[in-house]
Structure 1
């Protein structure tokens, strides 16, 4: 079985993380112990986090977040048909039941209305956080460039001297870099509770900088 690489790798991980986030949201809302939280609590979390992000962002950033939410909504709800159920579920039940396909769909939508609402709120929260990560990408790029430059200076000093080489440090740093990026995705995109970006982005920047510095600095003695 071939490993998925390139763009398909990102699509695969995006799908996995999104489905995991949806599962976590459902458990958060409907878990019966000690008491069911309900959709209203989840909706409140989205509102509070959106307000926090609005305080940290500018109009252009907020517009980008709305755009990303629309992009994510298209394949997850429109293409999957969940959008139609949302529309049917938001409409009042017909006074006369005709047994048509529309009546069946509306009954199904009403029966699973809370689950549909949870999925919709979760999609908005997931896409909002995804947009925040995208807006933070230039900052990650600057930090990686600075760390790589510092690491390159260290690598050059060892190349022109008898500095100690360590393949172990290089491989640990390389895996640490990849795991940090995956960890940011999981720790920021999955939790259904309110998360301030300041709790995630700065620590991730420090870990990425450290991993980049070590990976470049201990790459090897001669290129």
Structure 2
């Protein structure tokens, strides 16, 4: 009976590294899309209720301030000799792929033309309808440029997380050895919970920074979350079991 049941319900093996990689990339893409959607919706809500006087200028000013932060204070990186140029190139390329190659910008420009008496009824309706939402569409495009700019910054900021985590791991292993030789107590509860927080502490930095509806200096997001990740790594290494 047992062998018959096994034939009917074959055991599923553990996913390989390819499956794990694709699954991780899929989840990352989903979170990036959620962050981008949230940032656009937050800008639309702000334009309607919180900064109606600024309107479209809020998103454009936000983009200019973010670019100024990069040009002024983002001059060194372990991954490229000119991080500011890399971020600008990354943003420009993403803009071309998403808006120019797809024809979205061409469509927006065509719809932005005021309706003419010689236009057909459908064209007139489309252009008149677009005029009511034009500011929101242009604001969304500007916010997506901010999104890609921040995404470029985060890709260059990952060595900061790695450096903080390396120092924290060394400190945690030292604390583990002191606990091991000093007869300190061991807590699997602390270890497992700290281990679960390592990746979320990095993911939160990405989601919060990408979705923030106001201009913010990268250091105000990257450094605190790199420190938070380092704390979780240190606690995980320090609370790892004494004997393997």
Aligned in 2, Cα 1:165/1:22: closer, same or farther, shift over 3 Å?
A: same
Which residues of structure 1 form unaligned runs of 5+? none
Please name the residue that 1:73 is paired with. Answer: 95
Would you say 1:55 and 2:56 are equivalent positions? no
Q: Which fold has the larger relative contact order, with Cα–Cα distance below 8 Å and residues 6 or more apart in sequence? A: 1
Secondary structure at the residue paired with 1:5? helix
Please name the residue that 1:206 is paired with. Answer: 227
Please name the residue that 1:131 is paired with. Answer: 152
Compare CA radii of gyration and give the structure with the larger one: 2
TM-score by length of 1: 0.83
Secondary structure at the residue paired with 2:82? helix
- Alpha-carbon distance between aligned partners in 2 of 1:134 and 1:48, rounded to the nearest angstrom: 20
Please name the residue that 1:8 is paired with. Answer: 26
- Alpha-carbon distance between aligned partners in 1 of 2:242 and 2:125, rounded to the nearest angstrom: 69
1:128-207 equivalences in 2 (<5 Å): 128-160=149-181, 162-207=183-228
Count of matched residue positions in the alignment of Structure 1 and Structure 2: 219
TM-score by length of 2: 0.76
Q: CA deviation at 1:177?
A: 2.2
1:25-40 equivalences in 2 (<5 Å): 25-31=43-49, 35-40=52-57
Contact 2:32 2:207 in 1 (8 A): no
CA RMSD of aligned residues (A): 2.9
Please name the residue that 2:10 is paired with. Answer: none
Deviations 1:156-178 (A, max 9, x none): 44445533211122123223323
Q: CA deviation at 1:74?
A: 5.2
Aligned in 2, Cα 1:49/1:39: closer, same or farther, shift over 3 Å?
A: same
- Alpha-carbon distance between aligned partners in 2 of 1:126 and 1:34, rounded to the nearest angstrom: 20
